[in-house]
Amino acid sequence: MRQFLSLLLVTSVFAELTPAERELMQQLGSDTPEPILLWPGKPPQFLENAAPEVIAENQRIRSVSVPTITPYLPPKEKHNGMAIVVCAGGGYGGHDWKTHVVYAAQVFNPMGIAVIGLKYRTRPPHLLPNEGIQALTLLDAKRAMRLVRHHASEWGIDPAKVGVVGYSAGANLAMNLAANFDLGDPQATDPIECLSSRPDFAVGLGTWHWRKPENPFVFKANSPPVYLAHATTDKPVEIATNIIADLKKLGVPARLDLHEEGGHGVGNLIPQRVKNGFPGAQWPKLLVEWLESLGKKP
């Protein structure tokens, strides 16, 4: 019975593309992978009669009510088993998809690392306070981690080497997941819900919490290693230093790379920056080297 349910779930997550998804794929090119629904049918806390999704300038996605993941996989001969779920930034009001997901794939795929773009829900159309949008998107991030592990064998991924990376508000979501994961529900009838949502590492780039300096996340001793990159001009810097200090008090491996240039977009992997060796765009290599030093070699 469980095998049947698993097959049903896998086959039903591939849905008819929405007009916005078709437009995005057309803008990005024919080799763009298709998105996969996080849940078959309506997601938890589904918003009925929501305004349709919109593709804005420079492939920014707005008005998301149906969350998905999009797997950008490396060539099979380069797979090393590592994967990152990328949470794009946009103030919880949208996703800078090209800048944060597509450009990340262009850097990480040649390294043998899969990039899974998470299209989490936004406001609008969800009219929620800050705490509400954090809680809603945490559901999406947890499910994304489980779904990647569910597809791990198919996608050439080691389920013990799946991390989360976020930019700005996406970094807020990544840290929220690092603090509030669960290990799955062994009694769940949905086999995907049986899997852990704990990231094996978490990355925050220009980490943001509505411009507040305090660390709002209550981490645990078994939270994953955390790597942050931040610019000294991206105020308040203290949110990054406070996160690192709190993690180190718990004995959780944590690293902060501070940069003089880059501002709030310090970790953006814009091709020209990558080509010219911009310091803030070196974090993929530095991240992998750091994980290797912790005994988490890809």
Q: What is the pLDDT along the chain (298 residues), one digit of tens a residue?
A: 344 344 444 434 545 788 999 999 999 998 899 999 999 989 999 999 999 999 988 899 999 999 999 999 999 999 999 999 999 999 999 999 999 999 999 999 999 999 999 999 999 999 999 999 999 999 999 999 999 999 999 999 999 999 999 999 999 999 999 999 999 999 999 999 999 999 999 999 999 999 999 999 999 999 999 999 999 999 999 999 999 999 999 999 999 999 999 999 999 999 999 999 999 999 999 999 999 999 854 4
* Rounded distance between C-alpha atoms, residue 73 and residue 196, angstroms: 21
Domains and CATH numbers, the chain: 2-293 (3.40.50.1820)
pLDDT of residue 238: 98
Beta bridge partners of 36: 69
What's the pTM? 0.93
Element (H, E) at 210: none
Strands 68-72 and 226-231: unpaired
* Rounded distance between C-alpha atoms, residue 199 and residue 215, angstroms: 19
Task: Decide: residue 153, CB within 10 A, 0-12 exposed, 13-18 middle, 19+ buried.
Answer: exposed
- Helices 169-180 and 130-150, axial angle in degrees (round to 10): 70
pLDDT of residue 64: 97
* Rounded distance between C-alpha atoms, residue 135 and residue 276, angstroms: 39
Q: List the one residue out of 224, 213, 229, 211 whose CA is nearest residue 278.
A: 229
* End-to-end CA gap in the chain: 35
pLDDT of residue 295: 83
pLDDT of residue 16: 75
User: Residue 292 carries which side chain, given as an amino acid letter?
Assistant: E
* Rounded distance between C-alpha atoms, residue 276 and residue 12, angstroms: 44
pLDDT of residue 7: 40
pLDDT of residue 15: 54
Kindly list the distances between the CA atom of residue 111 and the CA atoms of 104, 127, 167, in Å, as whole numbers in the listed order.
11, 39, 20
